[in-house]
């Protein structure tokens, strides 16, 4: 479900709603959700601490606590963060529940809900991050950062020789793009999924550098993509509206909305369903 725009939408919701709040209770209902550090470390690191700042690296949510610990959340395929009153029944698959001290006796809960359990929650000392979450060091540049431009992208592509779609999904050159946005970005840049990095030239790199942030920022504005199965929602439970603006993802067999003269084709690339227009994208 969650790619950079969805994770960023969740980050903003958390920054607005739980920053500064103190954690008074932590429940782990499924050990697999905390497999990296174990339930004891999650509970010990969170209880009694207050959230100071909520950041994002690629698809990773990182919250710093006032006790020197850091909370890392990855939503995986089906993860959600739901803020709700403790009195409200917990959704199925609420694997980790964090209770906050309430100002007016109302104890709000942050629930990590994840049916497929590919997501995870970890808590560790901020100084130990490189050892506990080594993959953070291998993430590529942030495509919605101020400084992202054609120069930065060109540098990030240095030494790469393979096809664009697997590269975008790898997180190693650019961090945060998943299956939906890879296809949407490549369509708007008019590049096929199997174009190789060395074949791009100035124009190709320029098109990517323009459309990567344009698509992602537009999707953030829309609150992300909520598909027909309605799996994704922000921390208040509101769906995102960017799915209505998808030009290729989920449109295999339909007419291309850009050229209106060819049908969207679906293939499997990098083990993932890949949709593109054979006429517009070269």
Partner DNA sequence: AAACAAACCTGTGCGC
Partner DNA sequence: TGCGCACAGGTTTGTT
Catalytic residues, which ones?
2-3, 59, 272
Sign, CA dihedral 58-64-70-72, equals negative
Helices 4-17 and 201-221: angle between axes, nearest 10 degrees = 40
Min dist. Cβ of residue 24 to DNA (A): 29
Q: In what order do the strands lie in the sheet with 80-85?
A: 23-28, 94-100, 108-113, 80-85
Q: Which two tokens stand for residue 111?
A: 């629930």
**Whole-number Å distance between alpha carbons of 236 and 223:** 12
Upper half-sphere CA count for residue 79 (Cβ side, 13 Å): 24
Please say which residue, 99 or 176, places its beta carbon nearer to DNA: 176
Nearest approach in angstroms of CB 14 to DNA is 18
Which residues fall within 8 angstroms of residue 75, CB to CB, at 6 or more apart? 1, 2, 6, 7, 10, 59, 61, 81, 114, 119
Please give the Cα distance from 161 to 165 (Å, whole number). Answer: 12
Least distance from DNA to the Cβ atom of residue 96, Å: 15
In angstroms, give the least distance from the CB of 137 to DNA: 10
**Residue 79, phi-psi category: left (phi > 0), alpha (psi -120 to 50), beta (remainder):** beta
| Residue spans of alpha helices (H) in 157-200 | 164-170, 179-188
Residue 44 or 77 with smaller CB distance to DNA: 77
- Report how far residue 98's alpha carbon sits from residue 47's, in angstroms, rounded to the nearest whole number: 9
List, in order, residues 6 or more apart from 265 with CB less than 8 Å away.
Answer: 252, 275, 276, 277, 278
Binding site for DNA (CB under 7 A): 1-3, 32, 58-59, 74, 76-78, 92-93, 115-118, 135, 159-163, 166-167, 169, 171, 178-180, 196-197, 225-227, 229, 231-232, 243, 268-273
Q: Output 23 or 235, the one with its CB closest to DNA.
A: 235
Tell me whether residue 66 or residue 254 sits nearer to DNA (CB atom). Answer: 254
Q: Smallest gap, in angstroms, from Cβ of residue 50 to DNA?
A: 27
Nearer to DNA, 22 or 57 (CB): 57
């Amino acid at each position: 479900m969650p790619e950079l725009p969805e994770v960023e939408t969740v980050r903003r919701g958390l920054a607005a709603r739980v920053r500064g709040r103190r954690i008074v209770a932590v429940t782990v209902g499924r050990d697999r959700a905390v497999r990296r550090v174990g339930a004891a470390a999650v509970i010990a690191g969170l209880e009694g601490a207050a959230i100071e700042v909520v950041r994002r690296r690629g698809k990773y949510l990182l919250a710093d606590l006032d006790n020197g610990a850091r909370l890392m959340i990855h939503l995986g395929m089906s993860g959600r963060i739901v803020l709700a009153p403790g009195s409200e029944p917990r959704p199925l698959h609420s694997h980790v529940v964090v209770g906050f001290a309430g100002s007016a006796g109302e104890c709000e809960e942050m629930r990590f809900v994840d049916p497929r359990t590919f997501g995870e929650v970890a808590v560790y000392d901020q100084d130990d991050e490189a050892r506990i979450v080594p993959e953070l060091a291998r993430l590529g540049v942030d495509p919605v950062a101020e400084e992202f431009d054609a120069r930065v992208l060109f540098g990030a592509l240095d030494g790469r020789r393979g096809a664009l779609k697997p590269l975008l999904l790898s997180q190693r050159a650019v961090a945060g793009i998943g299956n939906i946005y890879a296809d949407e970005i490549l369509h708007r840049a008019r590049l096929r999924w199997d174009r190789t990095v060395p074949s791009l030239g100035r124009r190709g790199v320029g098109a990517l550098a323009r459309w990567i942030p344009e698509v992602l920022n537009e999707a953030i504005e829309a609150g992300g993509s909520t598909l027909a199965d309605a799996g994704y929602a922000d921390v208040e439970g509101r769906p995102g509206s960017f799915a209505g603006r998808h030009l290729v993802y989920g449109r295999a067999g339909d007419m291309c909305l850009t050229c209106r003269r060819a049908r969207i084709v679906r293939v499997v690339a990098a083990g993932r369903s890949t949709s593109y227009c054979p006429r517009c994208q070269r």
